[in-house]
Each structure stands twice: as structure tokens, then as C-alpha cells.
């Protein structure tokens, strides 16, 4: 069975959570592993009208048959981890969750520094979750690891071994990325970026799989890209224009209003190339064309929406396999069998 990675193609907030949730339920992967930075990225999922937001555990938690893993490259905040175990107890996540024993720990001092540092929180606009300072301590080889905390002992595992064993046994593995390409420490709009790389290559490394073990890379784009915090945003529109178009959003982690822009085809093409995209997912198509809301058949999309999807495919150079037309899990068009 194959493995695939889902990553964000813009500045985060692309709606990866809804795409991952759909794939988790539709494809029934036996292992779902989370890569990425840490608790500075939140994914939101609507299930039966209720919103679930996760910052630590995999967003595919609703697939109750799956093992849920947090890769060694991900920072762990024990407070957030245990809070999510409680928040998601209806899905029995505590019985299925595993943290790599090599995960670095976010301590209270990291959060305090992140929130008080004028450069990080003031100029760059970080989330204040402590990820940057925690990663700095890891680089300096003085950070604590998950294996050093007794309260995490019941959940510790070797995620890399589990993921590779699963692939050897022919099991389907879904790997989740966090944030977006534009926030990559290497390829993003430095210095207005996160504290590590966020491309598909890095996400694979986070969970311990080599490039030859990745079959598909799904890059998620939102019809109107958004950004939280400072930094370049070439296609940004005014708040007044965003208000007029009904594009008012707030960050899952920070609660800050998101900056909104027009779709940037050149940026999307570059993002898809560096990520090695084999397929694109487009979210919030209903925001681009309100008549597309809730449509689940590609042939029934209104002309404006369909032309937009076709333009993305032509200019980015990668087929669109998944299209979200609303917030609920069932609001999706799955074209993977025809592209």
C-alpha cells in the first residue's frame, strides 16, 4: 500500500485539516503520522457541525482504526498533548496515540521567551507557543526530549520504526504536514518564517521515512490565500475588500485576524515544484464562487468555479484531485480516480 504526504502550499491556514480528515475517513489509513514544527500550527475540522481544533495530535484522529503518531521532528508541549487527549476522548485517542521518544519538549520558559521577545513576537509575529526557542535549544543540544519526561512514558515509541514497519507490511500511511511552504525557514519569506523547513521533504524526515517511500505528495491551496503575522504578501487585499467579499478569518492558534490575498499562480507553481507535488487540493472554492457551495460532482460546478480550477491546473502544472466546496467533511469533490 502507498504512503502519501499532505502539506500546505501557501502560508498555512489552507484548510489542510479538512482535507486530511476526508482522506482519513475515505481511505482508512492504518497509520497517521504528524510532522511539522509543533503546537504553533492548528488544524480545524468540522464533524457533524462541531469544530475540533488540534495543535499536537494528527488531524486524522477521527479515523478510529488508525494509530496516531507524532514524529521525532515535532516539538511536544505536554500540556497541549494531555489537553487534546481529553478533548478528543470520544475518539479514544489516548489508546491510539504515540509520541516519538526523540521529540523535543516545549517548556514554560520557551513560551515565556517567545511571548516576551520583541523580535519574535513583535516584529516577526510568532504565535507565542514557544516553538522557536524550543527548536533553538534543540539545536544547541540542551533541550529536553520526550524520553526525559515520566508523564509521557506510556505514549513513547519509535515512530520511524512504526511507520516503516507499516509500509513493509503493506499498510496505508498518511503523513500530515503543518503550516505552509511560504513559512519554510529555508524557502519562505525569511525572516518572517517558522523555525524549520515545512516542505514535504522535511515532513518525511520528521516521521522517519526516506524519499523513496513516499508515493504521493498532495499540496493544499486555498482559493484566497491567507497569512497570520508579519511578512511579505504580494497579492494581499485590503481589509475592506476582504470584508466586502466575506473573507474574514481568524487564526486557530492565535485568534488574530488573517490577512487575505488573491490567488498567486506563480507562487503556487514554485511551491508545487519544490514540494514535488503529484496532486493539488483546492479548498474554500465556495468562497471564490458562492454557487459552488456543497457541490460534490465536478461536472455540476458552476462555470466560474470550474474555470478557476482549470486555470490552476494549467498554470501550476499539477492536476487538482480534491476540491473542498464547504466546511463539512462531505463538502468535497474527489477526482483522484480521473486525473
Instruction: Indicate which residues carry an active-site annotation.
Output: 13, 43
Neighbours of 171 (CB within 10 A): 16
Taking alpha carbons only, the member of 40, 44, 69 closest to residue 54 is: 44
Cell (9 digits) for 329: 467533511
d(CA 272, CA 240): 30
Residue whose C-alpha cell is 502507498 = 2
Cell (9 digits) for 289: 464562487
Contacts 24+ apart (CB under 8 A), 90-95: 91/61, 91/62, 91/64, 92/64, 93/57, 93/61, 93/68
Contacts of 255 (CB under 8 A, 6+ apart): none
CB 217 within 8 Å of CB 7: yes
d(CA 59, CA 46): 11
Amino acid at each position: 500500500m502507498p504512503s502519501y504526504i499532505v502539506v500546505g502550499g501557501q502560508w498555512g491556514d489552507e484548510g489542510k485539516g479538512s482535507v486530511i480528515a476526508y482522506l482519513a475517513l475515505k481511505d482508512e489509513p492504518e497509520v497517521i503520522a504528524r510532522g511539522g514544527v509543533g503546537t504553533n500550527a492548528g488544524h480545524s475540522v468540522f464533524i457533524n457541525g462541531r469544530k475540533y481544533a488540534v495543535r499536537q495530535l494528527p488531524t486524522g484522529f477521527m479515523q478510529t482504526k488508525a494509530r496516531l503518531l507524532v514524529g521525532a521532528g515535532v516539538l511536544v508541549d505536554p500540556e497541549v498533548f494531555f489537553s487534546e487527549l481529553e478533548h478528543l476522548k470520544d475518539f479514544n485517542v489516548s489508546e491510539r496515540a504515540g509520541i516519538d521518544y526523540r521529540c523535543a519538549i516545549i517548556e514554560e520558559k520557551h513560551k515565556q521567551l517567545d511571548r516576551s521577545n520583541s523580535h519574535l513576537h513583535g516584529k516577526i509575529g510568532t504565535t507565542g507557543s514557544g516553538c522557536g526557542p524550543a527548536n533553538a535549544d534543540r539545536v544547541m543540544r540542551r533541550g529536553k526530549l520526550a524520553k526525559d519526561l515520566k508523564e509521557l512514558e506510556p505514549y513513547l515509541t519509535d515512530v520511524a520504526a512504526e511507520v516503516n514497519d507499516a509500509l513493509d507490511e503493506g499498510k496505508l500511511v498518511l503523513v500530515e504536514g503543518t503550516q505552509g511552504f511560504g513559512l519554510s525557514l529555508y524557502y519562505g519569506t525569511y525572516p518572517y518564517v517558522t523555525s524549520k523547513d515545512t516542505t514535504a521533504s522535511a515532513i518525511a524526515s520528521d516521521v522517519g521515512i526516506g524519499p523513496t517511500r513516499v508515493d504521493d505528495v498532495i499540496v493544499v491551496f486555498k482559493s484566497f490565500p491567507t497569512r497570520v503575522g508579519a511578512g511579505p504578501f504580494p497579492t494581499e487585499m485590503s481589509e475592506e475588500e476582504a470584508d466586502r467579499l466575506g473573507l474574514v478569518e481568524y487564526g486557530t492558534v492565535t485568534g488574530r485576524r488573517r490577512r487575505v490575498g488573491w490567488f498567486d499562480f506563480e507562487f503556487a507553481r514554485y511551491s508545487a515544484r519544490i514540494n514535488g507535488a503529484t496532486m493539488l487540493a483546492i479548498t474554500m472554492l465556495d468562497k471564490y464562487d458562492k454557487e459552488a457551495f456543497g457541490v460534490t460532482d465536478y461536472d455540476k460546478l458552476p462555470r466560474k468555479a470550474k474555470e478557476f480550477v482549470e486555470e490552476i491546473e494549467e498554470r501550476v502544472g499539477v492536476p487538482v484531485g480534491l476540491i473542498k466546496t464547504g466546511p463539512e467533511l462531505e463538502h468535497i469533490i474527489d477526482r483522484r480516480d480521473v486525473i
